[in-house]
A and B are shown apart, each in its own frame.
Chain A
């Protein structure tokens, strides 16, 4: 008997009687203004949301917010001219020098400022964690109210890896005191396009 068979047999033997899978486990959240709720949630988790009309406005804000920054990379064609390093490397360790990375997010959640990204947005899985500063561009129309709605829209296994990112990296595991910039990006700015 392999350990797998042993475990499965033991679970089978100790299994309580089965219950039907609850079908109704979600609920609806309504916010008067999803963009405002998203921005407030993001501020609460230590990030900054900026509502912008177009890419020109993003560029202007970026130049003001991160003046004279080098080692900038982006996956966003409209901002390609801002980049001075490439994400097209074979070994992800080569991205260790990244300062600022600008990526796009296809889906955002208003209640907790989580933004979904998967391998369609990330040339390497490590990109949003290894960069010092992270910028994500989202569209107003892709903001949903809560996590239940997000999972309804998502196909989580569309690619090999996907993650929700909510704010800059932080931890409050130790003594319940919040430290921003723990094991990922030190800051997160989200631009919200119409």
Chain B
């Protein structure tokens, strides 16, 4: 209604929204609302060709990184998005965390593959905040390989050096420990001991795992110790 009453009507759109022919709208209008809200079509599907008498109408066509994305063969498919939000509504992460947690205008799985194109450094965390369950790709009406692209962005971001240092270091440390049975057993013992005798080293506000939850009670022995002790009996 606003567009019909205002003196000036300005519409902004990405260039990827241009389609060859009006009749192709038949395809998109059938897909959009049913993937968004479950309606068979939007209530009003307006077609503007001219401003009304005495009105001004402007169409602003935006690039904002889209042509760059077009040049990335692995990610250009994401430009097919019709913004229906089916991938968000189905995403187990989005459903728990909500739109604001994505710190980007387009949230959800599709936002997480569009945002790193705009700013890799600022949005490096997004492709990692996914279980890669694939539910998004499954519901996408325009068949974007969303979860594959999330996975591919991880490779690109790590190669370009946008992985957080703490993560890189701790992954390396973990690999060393998991490689050596002796180190692994020792780490387990130290962990259980710390939890039992010096809980304050983990039960403090510097440990994010301790915010809002209790640490688990340490078992007295590892499964391996238990198995070795009970094997003969």
Binds A, one of B37-45, B157-165, B171-179, B186-194: B37-45
- A164 to B32 CA separation, bound complex (whole angstroms): 14
A14 at the interface (CB under 8 A from B): yes
Binds A, one of B21-29, B105-113, B209-217: B21-29
The residue in chain A whose Cβ has the minimal distance to the Cβ of B46 is: A163
The residues of B that contact A184 with a CB separation of less than 8 Å are 1, 43-44
Contact B71 A172 (CB under 8 A): no
CB neighbors of A among B133-188 (8 A)? none
Binds A, one of B49-57, B124-132, B199-207, B220-228: B49-57
Q: Which of A114, A126, A165 contacts B5 (CB 8 A)?
A: A126
Contact B46 A14 (CB under 8 A): no
Contact A21 B30 (CB under 8 A): no
Contact A13 B40 (CB under 8 A): no
The residues of B that contact A163 with a CB separation of less than 8 Å are 44-47
CB neighbors of A among B67-108 (8 A)? 67-68, 70-71, 73, 76, 89
Contact B4 A164 (CB under 8 A): no
- A7 to B13 CA separation, bound complex (whole angstroms): 13
The residue in chain A whose Cβ has the minimal distance to the Cβ of B71 is: A14
A139 at the interface (CB under 8 A from B): no
CB neighbors of B among A1-44 (8 A)? 6-7, 10-11, 13-16, 21, 25-26, 41, 44
B20 at the interface (CB under 8 A from A): yes
Binds B, one of A50-58, A64-72, A73-81, A153-161: A153-161
Given contacts A10-B63, A184-B43, A184-B44, contact A172 B38 (CB under 8 A): yes
- A147 to B48 CA separation, bound complex (whole angstroms): 18
The residues of A that contact B76 with a CB separation of less than 8 Å are 16
Q: Which of A93, A128, A146 contacts B30 (CB 8 A)?
A: A146
- A139 to B59 CA separation, bound complex (whole angstroms): 36
The residues of A that contact B45 with a CB separation of less than 8 Å are 114, 163-164, 166
Contact A16 B15 (CB under 8 A): no
The residue in chain A whose Cβ has the minimal distance to the Cβ of B29 is: A147
Contact B70 A111 (CB under 8 A): no
The residues of A that contact B20 with a CB separation of less than 8 Å are 21
- A140 to B138 CA separation, bound complex (whole angstroms): 39
B118 at the interface (CB under 8 A from A): no
Contact A124 B70 (CB under 8 A): no
Contact A13 B71 (CB under 8 A): yes
Contact A26 B26 (CB under 8 A): yes
The residues of B that contact A173 with a CB separation of less than 8 Å are 37
Given contacts A93-B5, A147-B30, A164-B45, contact A15 B22 (CB under 8 A): no
Contact A14 B68 (CB under 8 A): yes
What is the distance, in angstroms, from B82's C-beta to the closest C-beta of chain A?
A: 15
Q: Which of B25, B42, B61, B68 contacts A151 (CB 8 A)?
A: B25
The residues of B that contact A130 with a CB separation of less than 8 Å are 1, 4-5
Contact B37 A161 (CB under 8 A): no
The residues of A that contact B15 with a CB separation of less than 8 Å are 7, 11
- A116 to B67 CA separation, bound complex (whole angstroms): 35
What is the distance, in angstroms, from A23's C-beta to the closest C-beta of chain B?
A: 11
CB neighbors of B among A146-187 (8 A)? 146-148, 150-152, 154, 156-157, 159-173, 176, 178, 183-184
Contact A7 B40 (CB under 8 A): no
Contact B71 A125 (CB under 8 A): no
What is the distance, in angstroms, from A117's C-beta to the closest C-beta of chain B?
A: 10
The residues of B that contact A159 with a CB separation of less than 8 Å are 49
- A64 to B41 CA separation, bound complex (whole angstroms): 30
Q: Which of B41, B49, B61, B67 contacts A160 (CB 8 A)?
A: B49
Residue positions of A touching B, CB distance < 8 A: 6-7, 10-11, 13-16, 21, 25-26, 41, 44-45, 92-93, 109, 111-114, 124-126, 128-130, 146-148, 150-152, 154, 156-157, 159-173, 176, 178, 183-184
6 other contacts beyond A126-B4, A130-B4, A151-B26, with CB at 8 A cut-off? A7-B63, A14-B68, A92-B4, A109-B41, A151-B22, A161-B52
